[in-house]
Amino acid sequence: MPKIAITGKGGVGKTTLAALMAHIYAEAGHKVIAIDADPAASLAYALGMPDDLAAKVTPIAEMEDLIYERTGAKPGTSGGFFTLNPRVDDIPDRFSVQYRGIRLLQLGTISSGGSGCICPESAILRALVTYVILYRDEVMILDMDAGVEHLGRATAKAVDAFLIVVEPGRRSLSTAANIQKLAADIGVTHCFVVGNKVRGPADRDFIQGNLPPDLPMIGYLSASQEAIEADLRGQAVFDAAPSLVEEARQIVAHFDARIATS
């Protein structure tokens, strides 16, 4: 079961791709766990989850009592003693919601310390994601932000690949190159690029021409009015943008083939 982390600069389309891939794997009959690891959580909406269900997802980092119970320290503290391998095996089932064959977990924001901090919240989130990757027999789609360092080495090494989303523009491409370096530093084995919001051949050429040579492309998603409208209406991209779904299916097929042969 593939374990995929999606990253890239803000606004490039990580959540859009994460939602498309989650629905595609679920439709194919796989169990899917989608983890919203972006502090600006929005995956529930991209999946098309109704508001009342989305409201039931509690960010794990905000569960102070649970964090205290499991780590022995209160969130927001650092420097004291707490366990780095808290029990997390019950968390995915207890604190997620399910929608159309997709289980959604939300990690929430770690307020103290900044990236790479060692605090009770980061300990529990790292343990949780690592547990999901290593022990749950599901496809995992991790919707992240551009800061990959806080994943931690054990988690990063366990994912099958990072999909780095870019759009035609220098900023997201330079972010992609940085992510690739950080990812290599923390032990990620594969990085692939998905070009999003592509308006035509010139955009594809631009992306291809501005990528580091050792960062392979795995597919493109076209710029789509339907994707924009799905976001406006709170509809699943999967339902509202059939042409993007077709493109995302090809990305999934390429990804599965690359991972199977590696």
Contact residues for ligand ADP (CB under 6 A)? 8, 10-16, 42, 196-197, 221, 223-224, 227-228, 231, 244
Nearer to Mg ion, 15 or 155 (CB): 15
Q: Does position 7 bind Mg ion by CB under 5 A?
A: no
CB of residue 94 to ligand ADP, shortest distance in Å: 26
CB of residue 206 to ligand ADP, shortest distance in Å: 16
Beta strands in the chain (DSSP E): 3-8, 32-36, 97-99, 102-106, 139-143, 161-166, 191-198, 217-222
Residue 8 to residue 22: CA distance in whole angstroms: 18
CB of residue 156 to ligand ADP, shortest distance in Å: 19
Task: Give which of ligand ADP, Mg ion, none residue 96 binds (C-beta under 5 to 8 Å, depending on kind).
Answer: none
Residue 255 to residue 18: CA distance in whole angstroms: 13
Residue 166 to residue 205: CA distance in whole angstroms: 13
Residue 97 to residue 10: CA distance in whole angstroms: 25
Nearer to ligand ADP, 96 or 224 (CB): 224
Task: Give which of Mg ion, ligand ADP, none residue 197 binds (C-beta under 5 to 8 Å, depending on kind).
Answer: ligand ADP
Q: Does position 15 bind Mg ion by CB under 5 A?
A: yes
CB of residue 163 to ligand ADP, shortest distance in Å: 11
Amino acid at 190: H
Q: Does position 196 bind Mg ion by CB under 5 A?
A: no
Nearer to ligand ADP, 15 or 122 (CB): 15
Nearer to ligand ADP, 27 or 231 (CB): 231
Closest-CA residue to 125 (of 160, 84, 73): 84
Nearer to Mg ion, 38 or 203 (CB): 38
The total of other beta-carbon atoms located within 10 Å of residue 228's CB is: 12
Amino acid at 157: K
Nearer to Mg ion, 34 or 123 (CB): 34
Q: Helix axis angle, 120-135 relative to 64-71, nearest 10°?
A: 80
Subset of residues 84 to 113 that bind Mg ion, contact rule: CB under 5 A: none
CB of residue 166 to ligand ADP, shortest distance in Å: 10
The three-state (H, E, C) secondary structure of 150-165, written as one string: HHCHHHHHHCCEEEEE
Question: Which chain residues interact with Mg ion by CB under 5 A?
Answer: 14-15, 38
